[in-house]
Amino acid sequence: IALLSPDVILVLGRFAARSLLRTEASVASLRGRVHRYRVGERTVPLVVTFHPAYLLRTPAAKRLAWRDFLALKVALEKNASI
């Protein structure tokens, strides 16, 4: 992640969320807000959403995922270094 130096990070699913945020919390409890991920001297906005496989099994969750993508867009617009 440090080599890529992203403006934002989108985390898809439980395993990735738990690994990056070092928590046992569920995706449902982590999504819906922008987290901060420390990369060296920088703090990068991080958005958690459902894994694509979950969305295929649970189409009703697509509405929630869409809200997460909108939050990602806002975070990117605020933090883009372009």
9-23, pLDDT tens digit by residue?
999 999 999 999 999
Q: Do residues 14 and 27 make contact, with C-beta atoms less than 8 angstroms apart?
A: yes
Q: Which two tokens stand for residue 12?
A: 């898809």
Q: Which residues of 9-28 are buried (b: 16+ CB within 10 A; e: fewer)?
A: bbbbebeebbeebeeeeebe
Round to whole Å and give the CA distance between 67 and 22.
23
Q: How confident is the model at residue 81 (pLDDT cuts 50, 70, 90)?
A: low
More confident residue, 82 or 13: 13
